[in-house]
Structures are given as structure tokens and as C-alpha cells.
Amino acid sequence: MRLIILLFLIVVLVAACNSAVQEWEAARQALVDYFSTLNQEQYSKAVALYGGSYESLVAMNPDNNSFDLEGLWQNGCTINGLQCLEVRSATLVEQDGGTFVFTVEFNNPDGSRFVLGPCCGADATQMPPLEQFTYEVVKKDGRFLVMDLPVFVP
């Protein structure tokens, strides 16, 4: 009888681990897809993968209709300074229920690693270069949504 109970517990634990791996991998894939669609100028698909605020995009594009989400993404990626790059790597650093936090590195269009250097008159000691960026993905209504905008370069 103890053997049967032990086997049952092992099966339950393995199933729970597989489910958790599937969850974070699905969240990671949503993150990769989000950046890929932006990079490939498939803005309608990006709208479906984004769950964060559009406030910054609306503020950067006061002449655009705030309901034209595809247009906001297009301007964000092409004229407003959002870096709509392909993901080089995305590593899960935290999971709390349906919220997943990843550290992400990006590729430049030439395939080299994207590095955000100092800006606005600062030097590398005042503003060290960044190669890794934090992104949150949330599971809502069975869908995984990225909550953060791409890196901004003024």
C-alpha cells in the first residue's frame, strides 16, 4: 500500500513540474514572439501579445489616434526610439503565480549583442552600459501578455 501511495505522489510531483515548465516556457515564447512580431513589423500581432500601458506611446504620438494601436506600435518602432529587436536570450528569473519575470538580451540587426550605452551627456562611469533588460509576462484569461515596452533609446 505504501508503495502505491509513494508512486502516486511521484506521479503528481512529476506532473506538477511538467506543468510549471510548460507555463514558463509558454510565457517565454510569448515574449520572444512579441519582439519578433515588432521586429518584423507585424504590429497587429504585437497588439495581441501586449498587455501593458499605451500611455507612453500615446504621449510620444499626440497626433495619432490613441485607439490606433498598430499605428502607435509602428511609430514606436520606426520613429520614437523603441528598439524592436529580436531576442538573443530570455532567462526566467522569477515566477509568482501567473507572473513571469525574464532577463532578456537582444540582437542588433547585424546579429551582434545590443548594448544600451550612456546617453544624454553621461559617460560610462555615470551610466554603465546595459546588456540585460527585465521584462514581465503575465498570464491573463489563459493568454500570456508582455507587460513592458521595448527598450527606449532617445
Per-residue model confidence as pLDDT tens digits over 3-40: 565 444 444 444 444 455 699 999 999 999 999 999 99
Is residue 135 within 8 Å of 91, Cβ to Cβ? Answer: no
Separation of alpha carbons 80 and 61, rounded Å: 8
Task: Assess whether pLDDT exceeds 90 at residue 109.
Answer: yes
Query: How many Å is the maximal CA-CA distance in the chain?
Result: 72
Question: Could you list the residue range(s) of the whole structural domain that residue 124 is in?
Answer: 2-40+84-146
- Residue-wise pLDDT for 47-57, tens only, equals 999 999 999 99
Q: For the chain, what is the domain count?
A: 1
For residue 57, which phi and psi values (nearest 5 degrees)? Answer: -65, -40
Is residue 92 within 8 Å of 102, Cβ to Cβ? Answer: yes
Separation of alpha carbons 123 and 70, rounded Å: 35
Assess if residue 103 is contained within a domain: yes
| Mean pLDDT to the nearest integer, 89-96 | 97
Which grid cell is 128? 554603465
For residue 92, which phi and psi values (nearest 5 degrees)? Answer: -70, 125
Assess if residue 88 is contained within a domain: yes
Assess if residue 36 is contained within a domain: yes
